[in-house]
Amino acid sequence: MAKIVVIGSTNTDMVVRSTRIPVPGETVTGGTFLLNPGGKGANQAVACARLGGETTFVAKVGDDAFGRETGPRLAKDGIDARLLVDPAAASGVALILVDAEGRNCISVAPGANATLTPSDLEPMRGEIEGAAALVMQLETPVETVAWAMKVAHAAGVTTVLNPAPAAELPADLYADLDWITPNETEAKLLTGVDVTDAASAKDAAAVLHARGVKGVVVTLGAQGAFWSEGGCCGSVPACPVKAVDTVAAGDTFNGAFAVALTEGQSVVEAVYFAVKAASIAVTRPGAQSSVPHRSEVAADGTPAAKP
């Protein structure tokens, strides 16, 4: 089993599900409240572990109840959680509103996630350099992301960056990325291309390749995903499902994609596997609670690694 290191955020998600998401100044009553573990980094670590990867997760938490609950919870999924404690910051939290169609809007207070520095990660250099893949997101400082990606890339580790939430990246970071996995909104922010379908995703990928990225996967929601690498490209359609909650769908996709890559699956197989896993996640409420296990991805009899 190949080792995957995930570095990123861990949050506690406070979710309200109601008929619709209120507009500014409006109150919508009648919703249901849920308290769920989340954070893009932790979600992706859970996805990696449940879908077959030996997973180490590195994050920073506060000295509070949310932070203290994180390690034991992740250990239940077999994750080696390396949690740093910042006594001066609270653990990260996210406020999530979900409507009847499964659409969501999210407000995040990063807390200790925002204080993760390269010096915090220096003791983990050996773990990073010895991994098969490094997976990161943008809920921790971008300079920390850039440092870790450079260390991993120099050691020949496969690097996967999910540029979420959307933010501009340093120009020199792109060359250290084997894979970047934006959704339509993130791809537009990074490239200026209005991504609405596979054709426009191809245009956005061309911009990212020109900056030095080796491989690009643009997730397209109900349209599936577009991939581009080494002069080849293609699309994988979404699985037809009834979406209940799209929270952590992208995180599930990224964890699944990383696992498939470390198993030696082809790009098409890896994207197919990731689309299938994400399609299961959207049929369930919650973040980590929605992430499927490996056996579920192939439960319909379709080989998980076959496009």
Show which residues are catalytic: 251
Contacts of residue 35, Cβ cutoff 8 Å, sequence gap at least 6:
12, 13, 14, 15
| Dist CA 200 CA 196 (whole Å) | 6
Residue type at 128 in one-letter notation: I
The DSSP result for the chain, as a single string, is: --EEEEE---EEEEEEE-SSPPPTT----S-EEEEEEE-HHHHHHHHHHHTT-EEEEEEEEESSHHHHHHHHHHHTTT-EEEEEEETTSPPEEEEEEE-TTS-EEEEEE-GGGGG--HHHHGGGHHHHHT-SEEEE-SSS-HHHHHHHHHHHHHTT-EEEE---S-----GGGGGG-SEE--BHHHHHHHH-----SHHHHHHHHHHHHHTT-SEEEEE-GGG-EEEEETTEEEEEPPP----S--TTHHHHHHHHHHHHHHTT--HHHHHHHHHHHHHHHTTSSSSGGGPPPHHHHTTTSS-TT--
Reading the block at residue 101, the tokens are 């169609």
Report the candidate in 103, 44, 106 with the shortest Cα–Cα distance to residue 244. 103
Interatomic CA distance for residues 74 and 43, integer angstroms: 10
